[in-house]
Amino acid sequence: MDLQSIKNRFNIIGNAPALNHALNTAVQVAATDLTVLIVGESGVGKEVFSQIIHALSARKHNPFIAVNCGAIPEGTIDSELFGHEKGSFTGAVDNRKGYFETVSGGTIFLDEIGEMPIGTQARLLRVLETGEFIRVGSSKVQKTDVRVIAATNRELLEFTQKGRFREDLYYRLSTVPIRVPSLRDRKEDISLLFRKFVVDFAERYKTMPVQLDEEAKAILINHQWQGNVRELKNIAEQISVLSNTNLINATTLQGFLPDQSKFSRMPVLAGQNQGGEFANEREILYKLFFDMKKDVTELKKMFVEILQNPSLAGAAANFTRESILQDFTGHEVEHNTAQHFITPTNNTAVAQPVLLQDNDMHQHEEIEESLNIIDKEKELILKALKKHKGKRRDASLDLGISERTLYRKLKEYDIED
């Protein structure tokens, strides 16, 4: 089957070289039983590639199932994948087959594989290497013949370095990696996709398909498209339904596009490259807390030194003033600013001893305790749950973590929502 026929069959629009390369790789690997790891940002269509591989394989007449690992709570994912025995845990009122048992002979697509718990990763590795698994609460080893296709929008190799993903499983999954390009990396396809979407929506809503003028097309092509094809489709539908004219100009289009500046509002922290990215906002918060704690520790050390040697007070005040001015202005402060600390009579620095009282030391300790990461994380979780009236899914989205991770944190901190 040629590439264009595959695109027509699976409704794939575009001719970008990176997209064609990914499709060719999927076609070539489909006839084998090799494990495939599909890598790409959210919204690029990774599941479509898994369907292509299954449809062109010898397993095409056998079951295919897609499992979102990030949507299954950590406490039940083993049961979902491998099954369980009656009475193995609370709520296990009967024996249950897992996906690896029911889909034997077919293909299982594990989306968001990076969210899979470490313990489940060990079980998955055994299935990949030996084809064996054990139900939860059982001691009987069972066999399965399942082809595994995994997908992720994260860099799993970085996860292995942080201990969040097994290195042996990573190399076992990525026997054949397929990287699906983001929409901004295939700009030549954006206009084609938009045209296809507006025609489809016009047919659905019984309206005339909208068109873009040249300036609007340029804006559409140069938009960042953080949500990729999914975001483009949503914008096309909004314009098709809400626009008052069929010819869309640049001003009208800008009203539908999200403000790209919001993606660059997060501060760049000291010691990070300008192009560096954080996995989520919580990592930025952790970095800020660590920096604050380090600064407080340095201040405490400086005060103790001044207490032991009062003559250092003037120099410390001079240094502190220069540092603050430099932080706010971005320029080195000339040394003659020290004259503010020198008396006009004898040109000697006025050194006032700094005395630390017991209550000052206690207050400092209280500051350090308030910077505890666990306390802050628990406080953020409670605020998110209160904000969203106990809805875990909305709270996890607001916190920038998966629902499974939030579920684990609730148990860990004994939070009743």
**Domain termination site, one of 122, 150, 181:** 181
Q: Are 149 and 38 contacting, i.e. CB atoms less than 8 angstroms apart? A: yes
pLDDT at residue 318 in the model: 56
Q: Round to whole Å and give the CA distance between 217 and 219.
A: 5
- Asked, for residue 291, whether it belongs to a domain, the answer is yes
Give yes or no for residue 26 having a pLDDT over 70: yes
Q: Round to whole Å and give the CA distance between 171 and 176.
A: 10
Identify whether residues 93 and 11 lie together within a single domain: yes
Lookup: tokens for 38: 């599909």
pLDDT at residue 284 in the model: 58
Give yes or no for residue 373 having a pLDDT over 50: yes
Identify whether residues 27 and 125 lie together within a single domain: yes
Name 196's Cβ contacts closer than 8 Å, sequence gap at least 6.
13
Average pLDDT over every residue of 204-212: 93
- Asked, for residue 101, whether it belongs to a domain, the answer is yes
Give yes or no for residue 295 having a pLDDT over 60: yes
Instruction: List, in sequence order, every beta strand (DSSP E) within 12-166.
Output: 36-39, 64-68, 107-111, 132-134, 141-143, 147-152
pLDDT at residue 333 in the model: 47
Identify whether residues 351 and 298 lie together within a single domain: yes
Question: CA angle at residue 126 from 124 to 128, to 5 degrees?
Answer: 70
Model confidence at 24, pLDDT cuts 50, 70, 90, reads very high
Q: Are 84 and 137 contacting, i.e. CB atoms less than 8 angstroms apart? A: yes
- Asked, for residue 298, whether it belongs to a domain, the answer is yes
Identify whether residues 225 and 286 lie together within a single domain: no
Identify whether residues 61 and 151 lie together within a single domain: yes
- Asked, for residue 219, whether it belongs to a domain, the answer is yes
pLDDT at residue 292 in the model: 72
pLDDT at residue 315 in the model: 55
- Asked, for residue 417, whether it belongs to a domain, the answer is no
pLDDT at residue 298 in the model: 72
pTM of the model: 0.62
Average pLDDT over every residue of 4-12: 93
**Domain termination site, one of 165, 181, 197:** 181
Query: SS3 for 176?
Result: strand
Average pLDDT over every residue of 252-279: 58
**Of residues 115, 131, 124, 128, the one with CA closest to residue 165:** 115
Model confidence at 374, pLDDT cuts 50, 70, 90, reads confident
Model confidence at 64, pLDDT cuts 50, 70, 90, reads very high
Identify whether residues 17 and 98 lie together within a single domain: yes
Give yes or no for residue 240 having a pLDDT over 80: yes
Average pLDDT over every residue of 76-89: 92
Q: Which helix (H) or strand (E) holds 120?
A: helix 118-130
Q: How many residues does the chain have?
A: 417
Name 137's Cβ contacts closer than 8 Å, sequence gap at least 6.
84, 85, 86, 87, 88, 89, 92
Q: Round to whole Å and give the CA distance between 99 and 101.
A: 5
What range does the domain containing 200 cover? 184-262
pLDDT at residue 378 in the model: 83
Identify whether residues 131 and 13 lie together within a single domain: yes
Q: Round to whole Å and give the CA distance between 221 and 257.
A: 12
Identify whether residues 35 and 148 lie together within a single domain: yes
pLDDT at residue 194 in the model: 96
Name 144's Cβ contacts closer than 8 Å, sequence gap at least 6.
100, 101, 104, 127, 131, 132, 133
- Asked, for residue 276, whether it belongs to a domain, the answer is no
- Asked, for residue 27, whether it belongs to a domain, the answer is yes
Identify whether residues 32 and 155 lie together within a single domain: yes
**Domain termination site, one of 153, 181, 209:** 181
More confident residue, 365 or 388: 388
Q: Are 85 and 130 contacting, i.e. CB atoms less than 8 angstroms apart? A: no
Identify whether residues 365 and 335 lie together within a single domain: yes
Q: CATH number, domain at 216?
A: 1.10.8.60
More confident residue, 246 or 302: 246
pLDDT at residue 267 in the model: 44
Instruction: Give percent of the chain with pLDDT exceeding 70.
Output: 76
Identify whether residues 108 and 236 lie together within a single domain: no
Task: Work out how many domains the chain is built from and give that number.
Answer: 4
Q: CATH number, domain at 44?
A: 3.40.50.300
- Asked, for residue 272, whether it belongs to a domain, the answer is no
Name 118's Cβ contacts closer than 8 Å, sequence gap at least 6.
164, 165, 166
Q: CATH number, domain at 391?
A: 1.10.10
Identify whether residues 191 and 257 lie together within a single domain: yes
Instruction: Give percent of the chain with pLDDT exceeding 90.
Output: 57
